[in-house]
Amino acid sequence: MKNRTLIIVDPQIDFISGTLATKNGKKAIDLLVEYLKEHADVLYDSIIITSDFHPKNHCSFKEFGGPFEPHCVRGTQGCKVYPDLDSVLISLRSEGMPLLASIKGNKQDKEEFSVFQNEISGKILKYFIVDNNIETIDVCGIATDYCVYETVKDLHETFPNARISVLTDFCAAVDESDMKLFNYCTENKNVQLVKSI
């Protein structure tokens, strides 16, 4: 038993080619797709995918006082997982890989950069990690300076003894010069940034 999982943060169309597309989002997820094809069954016992699942009047949208363009509105194309990645995940699931899909930001009046900030999804994810005796957690996705950072921080605070690695090849940021995640990983035990390819 590998006792290792991969958390893919918000690999959604709007963050790759849609309303909040990141500069390197497509490159990062394309690399992740190839990585999973080659290594997923050897490295991981399970894969967790988090997704924004916003109502159309979410508080983070500019029209309603927030800083962002509308994105990942449930029921829209932009809310869906990037198609090439989705295909790989479907294939892995058909081969027996356990997948857990976790939503966040589904309430109009609450911003949730991390899935742990969602009352229901956060509890389910905690139980999943404990029940499966997961000791090593790799994290990647979009955006490094928002949702990946908050996810890593909450994950480490919830499971301080877990070994957490951020797979930097498969991450993309809104602001590539942002140092929050780098500083957090430098200052905290059991959290590291790694090149995976």
User: Which residues are known catalytic residues?
Assistant: 10, 52, 54, 60, 71, 104, 111, 143, 147
- Structural contact between residues 24 and 174, judged by C-beta atoms closer than 8 angstroms: no
CA distances from 162 to 47, 87, 95, 110 (A): 16, 29, 27, 28
Strand (E) or helix (H) holding 77: none
Sheet holding 4-9, edge to edge: 99-104, 46-52, 4-9, 136-142, 163-172, 191-194
